[in-house]
Structure 1
């Protein structure tokens, strides 16, 4: 029976290899329980990793997982440590189980202080209770550390498990840059695709030309296409792109734009930087001041169309500056890899076993 058990929403391509490494390091003494195979807003198709896993029957309503069957799975497994990546009812059942059976609990979040600062009193209270009874804390980046620190969690109990992709799949290219600007993500309000279009409009106004590449699907796709047509901006919108095909697109763009109303991270920035493409984003993105460093491998700017367009023109009109940003983007993202992500989880587990009360 596994000593370590992880409860999480669903398989995601950027965590499969991480689970494999953790499982191998722990000599397969590791089990992942998934609440669902796929959530409604995802179209991913990928091969699962080689590690022990269980899929609970999907009885969720949208993104809210509430399945008491987790209790039976825990009774069978009898883990000594439970890692949980959220606060859905299914995961809270695992937390209660850990209290009753004296298992050690480790919360794992991609959330940030900014993304969770508007939580309701009840959601905040739940986190306070869970954190009070937890032994170690795992987060995806600096924003997650700030979140834990806001609950008075000491730094020595906080471990980083970065969000990563297979950087080796994305080849750096300095030629064949067909597109001025690139966007990748779900075409919904929260991802701010209209802001992207307005920035492209302003860049065209300032320079006379702007070709854009937009990857992703969503409810706003037709409206976005109509806006681009109206502005007479040359564009390519191939829709949703399978994970295996993504590396073919990023190297074709000069700059990647990541506007958002509140991405906990923004894994698309990893993909762009792995292809040597500088990223422009905002403070609302989890990658800001972590993966994306202002004036080093991109820009972190207020959500103002004129400011974004001005900085885009600045970097694209200076070949030396652009080459430096592109090199720094490619170099910096190499630190964000599956091994590093797995090490953060393993360190949290080791810390927990070494400090049992």
Structure 2
């Protein structure tokens, strides 16, 4: 059986997932990307890693949103590509123009279609009526659905999907690349907090800095990432009088980042909105306790409140400050929660995550054979 997966760009975590699927699957897997990259992504992908992959001819439109940029890829040859591959099943990621064309092609050709999404009711709260109609149509008509989180499943149900057709395949990284056996007997003289992500309004660093100004403790926050808010954030740090506590490190490649995870004590993600928050999982692989915004929609699957982390309201500066302060005041709690984080990452191995894909494919093939 031939399976075609369509997604936007070859992000590192997706490439790892696809390669594992290709290597382990009984199916003939083909990957189609709408574009090679987006200008807010700094990662580098070795072309050798792009197995069974092809790229569409497309035009990318960049749209400014309230807190970020959105990229829409307009495909020129998705129909021709599908006609050439002749898949038995198409797995389409999200609900963009490429996916809508592919969905229509599947309907016309009587090819089974699986809808795959990271989106949540929170991340999609500002969609327009046309986007809502498309989601409802695809979720109701898809032969099966793959959800990247519990929150995504809730969205698919809201859009009209039948629960028995939904299979959860948690968003993940290749955790073997991030696992660090931490020496918990070692501790930093000055505790090190860590943030990893884009320096954009959506990520909520300004909210974190407001909270840090209220924390009465000597520590350092290392900020990893680049983005358009850098100058505003530097000005804010200066105005709040916390310059000695904040270090802007820019973008780091994986080997440098892994070293920094190993040297850190606490991971903080104050985001205003995230479909999941994969950096949380990376930090858990390093055995770090997590302080995370409730607006990172992966928290339902990643964090057990009080065991490996705390889920906070980032707009409540006092609550966030108190959470940081209380954890810094309790080094043994930091170690215990870090150990719990490390234990929980076993749920996110590629083998476990791909059970959702396997379940969706078997469900569709079973229907086909009836």
TM-score normalised by the chain length of structure 2: 0.90
* Residues 179, 213 of structure 1: 8 Å contact kept: no
Q: Identify the residue that residue 105 of structure 2 maps to in structure 1.
A: 97
TM-superposition CA deviations, 1:186-229 (whole Å, max 9, x none): 101000111121222212xx22x231100000111123223334
Matched, 1:352 2:364: yes
The corresponding residue for 1:20 is 19
Query: How do 1:1-357 and structure 2 match up within 5 A?
Result: 3-27=2-26, 29-48=28-47, 49=49, 51-62=51-62, 63-168=71-176, 169-173=178-182, 174=184, 175=186, 177=188, 179-203=191-215, 206-207=216-217, 209-230=218-239, 231-232=241-242, 233-303=244-314, 304-356=316-368
Pair 1:215–1:179, CA change in 2 (3 A): farther
Does structure 2 retain, via aligned residues, the 8 Å contact 1:68–1:93? no
Conserved? CA contact 2:58–2:76, under 8 Å:
no
**Distance in 2 of aligned mates of 1:182 and 1:341:** 27
Q: Number of matched residues?
A: 353
Offset of 1:21 from its aligned partner?
2.1
Q: Could you give the per-residue CA deviations for residues 38-79 of structure 1, whole angstroms, max 9, x where no partner exists?
A: 012101113353531111124221311111300100011111
**Aligned-partner Cα distance in 1 for 2:13–2:352:** 13
More moved, 43-52 vs 334-343: 43-52
Note if contact 1:33-1:54 (Cα within 8 Å) is conserved in structure 2. yes
Alpha-carbon separation, structure 2, partners of 1:107 and 1:319: 45
Structure 2 distance, partners of 1:328, 1:71, is 47
Shift of 1:323: 2.0
Contact 2:114–2:144 (Cα < 8 Å) also in 1: yes
Closer, same or farther: CA 281–107 of 1 in aligned 2, 3 Å: same
Alignment-derived partner of residue 67 in structure 2: none
Q: Is the 8 A contact 2:288 2:338 kept in 1?
A: yes
* Deviation of 1:176 (Å): 5.0
The gaps in structure 1 that reach 5 residues or longer are none
CA contact (8 A) 2:148 2:169 kept: yes
Give distance in 2, aligned partners of 1:249 and 1:211: 13
Partner-residue secondary structure (3-state), 1:79: coil
Please tell me whether the aligned partners of residues 121 and 151 of structure 2 are also in contact (alpha carbons under 8 angstroms).
yes
Deviation at 1:271, TM superposition (A): 1.0
Stretch of structure 1 that moved more, 62-71 or 146-155? 146-155
Q: Secondary structure at the match of 1:276?
A: coil
Conserved in 1, the CA contact under 8 Å of 2:94 and 2:115?
A: yes
Q: Distance in 1 between matches of 2:156 and 2:137?
A: 13
Deviates more, 1:319-328 or 1:43-52: 43-52
Question: Following TM superposition, by how much is the alpha carbon of 1:245 offset from its aligned partner in structure 2, in angstroms?
Answer: 2.2
**Residue range with higher mean Cα deviation, 339-348 or 87-96:** 339-348
Q: Which runs of 5+ in 2 are unaligned?
A: 63-70
Structure 1 pair 57–73 and aligned structure 2 pair: CA distance change class (3 A): same
- Structure with greater contact order relative to length (CA < 8 Å, sep ≥ 6): 1
Contact 2:57 2:76 in 1 (8 A): no
